[in-house]
Amino acid sequence: SPDIYKVYVQEVKNGLIPYKDGPELLLLLLEFSTRSTSLFGEFKPSFLDIYVNAILNAKEKPVKSLIEAFHPLYLQMSHEDFGIIVLPAAVKMLKRNPEIVLESVGILLKSVNLDLSKYAAEILSVVLVQARHADEGRRDVALAIVRSLSQKSSNPDALDTMFNAIKSVIKGMK
């Protein structure tokens, strides 16, 4: 019933139902809502809010199963959702605590069905720093993000900008 569903979403959003250690309920709620365009449209802002707070503004690195529980949301994300809500929070946290959100941003970028051309320069400006990090794991995730950006960018100018940014990082390594 939609009324019961609404109660569950509100309880999750308000933190009354814990989901961080067992994200299966969150995944179930998201999958259920994507079956109805009107239902998803009604609750998408709540899910975006939960995503930003639980993943991008996390105080410690979220578990991979929680990041992946948002997959139905990633697939339904619009340019408006991404550019206005998700990207600013992601860039802010990549600057502040990259070790916490780097993997999350990588999974997000790999999963969204968007042309990322117009966001590439902004994302690269904070991710390429991690491509030079001493930790090999961080370098690998940063390069996976660069790969996702290049694969999901259709604008030749954006690709050229990306190439030049990467080239300058490589030159700086010498």
Query: For the chain, which residues make up each domain, given as ranges?
Result: 1-111, 115-174
| pLDDT at residue 169, rounded to an integer | 72
Give the pTM.
Answer: 0.90
Q: Tell me, what's the pLDDT at 173?
A: 56
Q: Supply 64's token pair.
A: 């991979």
Burial of 107 (0-12, 13-18, 19+ CB in 10 A): buried
Burial of 143 per CB tally in 10 Å (0-12, 13-18, 19+)? middle
10-residue averages of pLDDT along the chain (174 residues): 87 88 90 92 95 95 96 97 97 95 97 94 89 86 91 84 76 58
